[in-house]
Amino acid sequence: MELTIQYIVNALSLGGVYALVALGLAIVFSIFGFINFAHGELLTLFGYVLFYALSAGLPFGFAVILGLACAMACAVLMERVAFRPLRGANPVTLLVTSLAISGALQVMFQIGFGTRPKPLVMPGFLSGAFNVGSIYIGSAQAISIIVVALLAIGLNMFLNRTRFGLALLASAQDFDVAKLMGIRVNAIYATAFAISGLLAGVAALLWISMRGSVEPTMGFNPLVKAFVATIVGGMGSLTGAVVGGFFLGAFEVVLQILLPPDYQIFRDAIVLATLIAFLLFRPRGLIPAAAMPTK
Amino acid sequence: MLSVENLVVRYGPIEAVKGISFEVREGEIVSLLGPNGAGKTSTLAALMGLTTPQSGEVRLSGETIYGQGTARIVQRGMTLSPEGRRVFPRLSVEKNLLLGGMIRKDWRNPAVLERMYKRFPILAERRNQLAGTLSGGEQQMLAIARALMASPKMLLLDEPSLGIAPKIVAENFELIEQLRDEGMTILLVEQNVFQSLSISDRAYVLENGRIAASGNSMDMLNSELVRHSYLGVSDPMEAA
């Protein structure tokens, strides 16, 4: 029983990080119809900003806020510099563009900060652990579960109850007609990217507190997992992204339990095989998006 | 209310609108008629700031709106019900209407919605249905209602009769007249010449991006020349 709860906690906290990254991908996908492969680099950027801000002696809270601000600014900049000029282009063009940005940023990180992982010591409340009865819960795990729940609920309310949320839905469906409603579509797009940057930053904080270091390619793994999560959950559906994220987290924990130690290296292969199975047999995912772009 | 001078719209090498001038006075319905490809929709797109015109001047209530962003023009009080309805198909009827009134400070005010539902009872019935599931005629009503939600002083309607059952077309034209009687100023772009002329005050005929004829709608309806040259029908009774 305790072991089961332990596994559930693990699944929830791992799934939560995937869900956050997947949410960021899904917001952009729901409008533009492409997966932003440079999203992982937003996580990395947050990591480096946090690392250098802490090295410079800034207080932790301030360093986190600075990191979030940088991730958001970088996301907005991506849209402005790379994606906006391609507006109306085939989503595949945008996808390839995002791969190029991802590669370019990784190289910039390598040149600027070196290829070796930089150890990041998190403050006690993130790196510690506590016991509930005989269940061992990492603080990062607990915080991750709470933060993901709050962010998912908050985002859902933001999108469903506010003018911005409605404007976003409209802009996703018909660019010109959204303008005819008096919506400043450019501002909506920038805000959508800013939100994806914010989600990436929070995900990065949780991801880093689980792994303890920052390196140029650290964004790749969560990005691939989140990509799988968005497809499993249902492309472009925000609920689907969250469901897919938790599904994937649980799936990985189950594999960890079931697979004999010698076969653990096949975990990612099995996860990716699941992706292929979904693409073949249920391409619209577990929870298909109502507002999926048709182009 | 709306005055347009020497408006030129160009798409690359193609000049779709070649320097047209016209005006819509307060409380009027003005028809902008002409065959496919005459430049009617390009004119509307330029008026709304959806395409940037090459040159010209556009004034709304005396203030220039030429070259301004669409959002700004909507704020100034001009809205468009676009060709082919273009409702948001995967949003509910109610959300479509809310979007129409998005620029209002009181956009959530149920009284505004209720007023619209009173005018369009069928939309009230379908308020929670996805707009894409409505019939063509109902979608057209929704598109017009959506354009009215911002309480514009100038309403542009692009082909409200396109692809719609004749009975609903008649209803829609009645609605347009009713709006005018309530004080709305309307620019009606149509291929449905006879019905447009019969409800409008004045009309312009657009041909190859130029204004080929203009005048009082009643006179145009009765003018042999206009009927022969521009409307392509010799006699309405004969045609019917």
Q: For the residues of A47-113, what is the DSSP string, one character each?
A: HHHHHHHHHTT--HHHHHHHHHHHHHHHHHHHIIIIIGGGTTS-HHHHHHHHHHHHHHHHHHHHHHH
Residue B229 pLDDT class (50, 70, 90 cuts)? low
Full domain range(s) for residue B79: 2-85+152-239
pLDDT of residue A9: 84
**Residue in B closest to A294 by C-alpha:** B90
- Predicted local distance difference test score (pLDDT) of residue B18: 92
- Tell me if B102 and A167 make a contact (CB, 8 A cut-off): yes
Condensed to tens digits (0 to 9), the pLDDT of residues A181-236 reads 999 988 999 999 999 999 999 999 988 988 889 999 999 999 999 999 998 988 87
Which residues does chain A have within 8 Å of residue B102's beta carbon, measured at their own beta carbons?
Answer: 163, 166-167, 181-183
In the predicted model, what is the mean pLDDT of chain A?
A: 88
Using CA atoms, how far apart are residues A39 and A29, in angstroms rounded to an integer?
Answer: 11
Give per-residue pLDDT as tens, A35-59. Answer: 999 999 999 999 999 999 999 999 9
The whole domain housing A96 covers: 2-114+137-281
User: Mean pLDDT across the stretch B61-71?
Assistant: 91
- Asked if residue A125 has pLDDT above 80, the reply is no
pLDDT greater than 80 at residue A290: no
Q: Do A170 and B91 touch (CB under 8 A)?
A: yes
Say if residue B114's pLDDT is above 50. yes
> What average pLDDT score do residues A116-140 get?
81
CATH number of A205's domain: 1.10.3470
How many domains does chain B divide into? 1
For residue B81, the one-letter residue type is S
Confirm whether the ipTM is greater than 0.90.
no
pTM over 0.90: no
Residue A270 has phi, psi (to 5 degrees) of -70, -40
pLDDT greater at residue B12 or residue A79:
A79
**Residue labelled with tokens 């990492």:** A138
A184 to chain B: which residues are within 8 Å by CB? Answer: 69, 71
Within 8 A by CB and 6+ apart from B230, the residues are: B33, B34, B205, B207, B212, B213
Please check whether residue B47 lies inside any domain of the structure.
yes
Contact status, residue A39 vs residue A194, Cβ threshold 8 Å? no
Domain assignment of residue B141, yes or no: no
Which residues lie closer than 8 Å to B187 by C-beta, 6 or more apart? B2, B24, B30, B32, B44, B154, B155, B156, B157
Per the prediction, chain B carries an average pLDDT of 89
Q: What is the pLDDT of residue B240?
A: 45
Any domain includes B139: no
Number of domains comprising chain A: 1
Q: Tell me the nearest-neighbour CA distance from A132 into chain B, angstroms.
A: 46
For residue A169, give the chain B residue with the closest CA. Answer: B91
Measured between beta carbons, which residues in chain B are less than 8 angstroms from residue A163? 102, 107
Return the CATH number at B160.
Answer: 3.40.50.300
- Partner residue opposite A290 with nearest CB, options B82, B90, B147: B90
What pLDDT, on a 0 to 100 scale, did the predictor assign at position B228?
Answer: 67
pLDDT at A134: 77
pLDDT value at A7 more than 60: yes
Residues of B with CB under 8 A from a CB of A: 48-50, 69-71, 74-75, 79-80, 82, 86, 88-91, 95, 98-100, 102-103, 107, 146-147, 150
Residue A286 in any domain: the answer is no
| Percentage of chain A exceeding pLDDT 70 | 98
Q: Which residues of B touch A290 (CB under 8 A)?
A: 90
Residue A14 above 60 pLDDT? yes
Element (H, E) at B187: strand B185-190
Residue B80 has pLDDT above 90, yes or no: yes
- How many angstroms separate the CA of residue A154 from the nearest CA in chain B? 20
Look at residue A196 and give its three-state secondary structure: helix
Reported as a pLDDT band with limits 50, 70 and 90, residue A179 is very high
Task: Give the pLDDT band (50/70/90) at residue A289.
Answer: low
Model confidence at B89: pLDDT above 70 = yes
Q: Mean of the pLDDT values across residues A55-71?
A: 95
- pLDDT value of position A12: 87
Q: Would you call B102 and A177 a contact, using CB atoms and an 8 Å cutoff?
A: no
Name the helix (H) or strand (E) containing B93.
helix B93-100
Residue B142 and residue B131 in contact, taking contact as beta carbons nearer than 8 Å: yes
The answer to whether residue B17 is domain-embedded is yes
Give the mean pLDDT of A115-135.
Answer: 82
| pLDDT for the residue B233 | 54
User: A292: pLDDT confidence band, cut at 50, 70 and 90?
Assistant: very low
Residue A14, in any domain of the structure:
yes
Which pairing describes strands B154-158 and B185-190: parallel, antiparallel, or unpaired? parallel
| Residue A159 belongs to some domain of the structure | yes
Residue A5 pLDDT > 80 = yes
Higher pLDDT, A73 or A145: A73
